[in-house]
Amino acid sequence: MKKKIFTVLIIAIVAAAGIGYYMWNKPKRTAADEKPFAITTADELMNEFSSDETKAWEKYKGDKVIQVKGKIGDISQDSLTTILLETQDIMGVINCTLIKDQNFSGKIGDSIEIKGICAGYNLDVQLTQCALVQ
Amino acid sequence: MKKYIAIFAILIATATTTQAQKYFTRAGYLGFFSDTKMEDIKGDNNKVNFVLDAATGQLEISGLIKAFEFEKALMQEHFNENYMESDTYPKTSFKGKVDNMAGVNLKKDGTYSSKVTGDLTMHGVTKKVTVDATFKVAGGKITCESKFDVVPEDYKITIPGTVRDNIASKIAVTAKANLEELKK
């Protein structure tokens, strides 16, 4: 009997450690393999946020994935690549941060489709963990 | 990017009646570091807006909570869901003044220090703070930087007892930006 309890205990500890280890190293959620909540254009998305930020945030909060079509206005690179999509709003861009392992060879002026997790509105609309839509 | 800066400049210029000189960036940095025996936690945000009015010393900073990047997915999740509640409070901001703006010459190379005083908002709570800031001017390039500590509990951020030892009681915050002049 004692042996049985001991065995069960060992299994429980190993399982707990396994779950803990998995949680600790859990991969970041990316937009790459998720179905988009909304498919839109850079202009439309900017318009939604600039006309009524509260309403737009209500719609897109909760880490919703948005798929956006637009023209590349600028590209910048630090530890991650950021792509700015132009909009007709002279103040605004869609600011997209690519996931680490996303290959990207586009250039300014290219039309692309990109999907990412909505982080909110801060003059620009920011999307994180973005992936290119092929 | 040049085009956006130019357009932004025109807008600001037409919006202000004075000839105030403004400096800004949309790629400012806001980061924090929590150092404990249990673990180190670091969050970085490189998409922060800074606007400085050189005539009055007015300084405004704003950033999105969800734009902070972490090494571990779990840290990012806890930060957003449990502590900052970023769906409810998506932004952090600072609105204040460079106390000794008269002593900072952004047109002349050098290193200038000043206190910055103003309202720091996060997690829906606004607090008056005074921090030390440095302005470095070198060959027309302007960098401003400030390091200060934030106590989570001051901003009604509750950290459960079970993980209290994993998170520093004072979080080290860094704000840094390369500012560009807005030209008419």
For B22, phi then psi, to 5°, come to: -115, 150
**In the 8-state DSSP scheme, what is residue B100?**
T
Neighbours of B161 (CB within 10 A): 7
A76 vs B contacts (CB less than 8 Å): 1, 27
Are B47 and A123 an interchain contact pair (Cβ–Cβ within 8 Å)? Answer: no
**pLDDT tens profile B32-91:** 999 999 889 999 999 999 999 999 999 999 999 999 999 888 999 999 999 999 999 999
Which of A21, A23, A28 to substitute to test the interface with B, most B CBs within 10 Å?
A: A28
Are A128 and B66 an interchain contact pair (Cβ–Cβ within 8 Å)? Answer: yes
3-class DSSP state for residue B20? coil
Q: Where are the alpha helices (DSSP H) in chain B?
A: 2-15, 73-78
pLDDT at B128: 97
Share of residues in chain A with pLDDT > 70 (%): 100
Is a pLDDT exceeding 80 seen at residue B122? yes
Fold entry, domain B2-181:
Lipocalin (2.40.128)
pLDDT at B13: 59
For B6, phi then psi, to 5°, come to: -60, -45
Query: Could you give the CA distance from residue B93 to residue B90 in angstroms, rounded to a whole number?
Result: 10
pLDDT band at A21 (very low <50, low <70, confident <90, very high): confident
All structural domains of chain B with their residue ranges: 2-181
Q: Which of A38 and A79 is assigned the larger pLDDT?
A: A38
User: Quick one: CA torsion of B108, B110, B116, B122, rounded to 10 degrees?
Assistant: 100
Query: Is A128 in CB contact (< 8 Å) with chain B?
Result: yes
Cβ–Cβ under 8 Å, residues B42 and B71: yes
Q: Which helix (H) or strand (E) holds B104?
A: none
CATH 2.60.40.1930 fits A38-132, yes or no: no
Is a pLDDT exceeding 70 seen at residue B143? yes
**pLDDT tens profile A47-96:** 999 999 999 999 999 999 999 999 999 999 888 899 999 999 877 899 99
pLDDT band at B17 (very low <50, low <70, confident <90, very high): very low
Query: Could you give the CA distance from residue B48 to residue B45 in angstroms, rounded to a whole number?
Result: 7
pLDDT band at B4 (very low <50, low <70, confident <90, very high): low
Candidate from A62, A74, A95 with C-beta closest to B47: A95
All structural domains of chain A with their residue ranges: 38-132
Cβ–Cβ under 8 Å, residues B181 and B23: yes
Which of A55, A122, A124, A130 to substitute to test the interface with B, most B CBs within 10 Å?
A: A122
Are A90 and B66 an interchain contact pair (Cβ–Cβ within 8 Å)? Answer: no
Average pLDDT of every residue of chain B: 90
**Mean pLDDT, residues A5-21 taken together:** 89
pLDDT at A83: 95
**Mean pLDDT, residues B17-45 taken together:** 87
pLDDT at A2: 81
pLDDT at A53: 95
Q: How many CB pairs under 8 A join A and B?
A: 73
Least confident of A11-25, B5-19, B93-107: B5-19
